[in-house]
Copies of this chain bind each other. A is one copy, B any other.
């Protein structure tokens, strides 16, 4: 599962073929493997600047120094490109491979969150806050993007909390899922409604004053 760190996201069926021979090598020029990432970065840039509805495929193609046909060769539609770009964006915010285990839950939860570069953190907010109609008009695809963004993060949190229960730091009947959901909700709310950065310090305050006291009671 983790042997390939590449993207593996789009894979739109381009060469339909007969698929008769199994190991037949494909002729012709190969797809530029770096182009996927370039296109998604361009997508995120435009999303941050314009929002979902004002973003046009022509803009993305121009920013990526590519052609619109190339976009549609790799993604079937605009919403699906945006979905993958969002998932791509969120991959860089949680360090899933090196879970901390300090013996203190608050420290662990905070340690998992990568410090944003102010540049990328800012872009992230603007991307998320310009997504309004994406959610309402393409609900199914948007849901895929949402779970792609949140589920890795929530899974990490759940694991860390589970450990804290095992070592007696939390009450055995603590409602972990609800706590994870609240963290998720605050993140979405802060960025989408308040349009402010959800900082590590904000996060710490919520853990300290609400989540942790509740889970210990």
CB interface residues, A 160-180, toward B, < 8 Å: 175, 178-179
Bound-complex Cα distance A186 to B179 (A): 11
Bound-complex Cα distance A182 to B134 (A): 24
Min CB–CB distance A182 → chain B (angstroms): 6
Name the one of B51, B136, B137, B185 contacting A190, with C-beta atoms under 8 angstroms: B185
Bound-complex Cα distance A205 to B50 (A): 36
Interface residue? A192 (CB, 8 A): yes
Interface residue? A155 (CB, 8 A): no
- Identify the A interface with B (CB < 8 A): 50-54, 128-137, 139, 146, 175, 178-179, 181-182, 184-186, 188-190, 192-193, 195, 205-206, 209-211, 213-214, 216-217
Closest 8 CB pairs of A and B: A132-B132, A185-B189, A51-B136, A132-B133, A213-B217, A53-B133, A214-B214, A210-B214
